[in-house]
Amino acid sequence: MNIVGQLPPGLTGLEQLLKLIDMGGRAPIGETMDITLVEAADGYAVFEGMPSLRVYNPIGMVHGGFAATLLDSACGCAVHSKLSPTQAYTTLELKTAYHKAITGDTGLMRAEGRVLTMGRRVAFTEATLKDAAGKLYASATSTLLVMER
């Protein structure tokens, strides 16, 4: 099975991501959390998301899972962009730092992920989450396992 079950087989990771963007940029989780893949290049991926009351926690602000999901998606898809047609990946570890609270008034959020190093079996990435003005709200580092399908 591929990212959305609609992509042709035999594509590289980057080709898959670019096709996904052409198809609207949303895997099923994107529909649930209102996040979209908007850019992909070799070792780089960008997701955007709009926080809303749907992702609020009981204390009246956006749940940290919204930021973590955007950051994990950016880190993961940065690695995805470097995969061959026979490879897959999974997140082993995600360390997220929350710099500023997010609310529904924060507006569009942008998570940019980059591969720092990628070996045969393990990749290391980082990502930032900023608002439209470039203010930093969260950041993350991630370790991912690369494997054959």
Mean pLDDT, contiguous 10-residue spans, the chain (149 residues): 66 96 92 96 98 93 97 98 97 98 96 97 98 98 97
Query: Residue 1: its pLDDT value, please?
Result: 36
Query: Residue 81: its pLDDT value, please?
Result: 98
Query: Residue 2: its pLDDT value, please?
Result: 42
Query: Residue 8: its pLDDT value, please?
Result: 81
CATH numbers and ranges of domains, the chain: 13-148 (3.10.129.10)
Neighbours of 136 (CB within 10 A): 12
The H-or-E segment that residue 116 falls in is strand 109-118
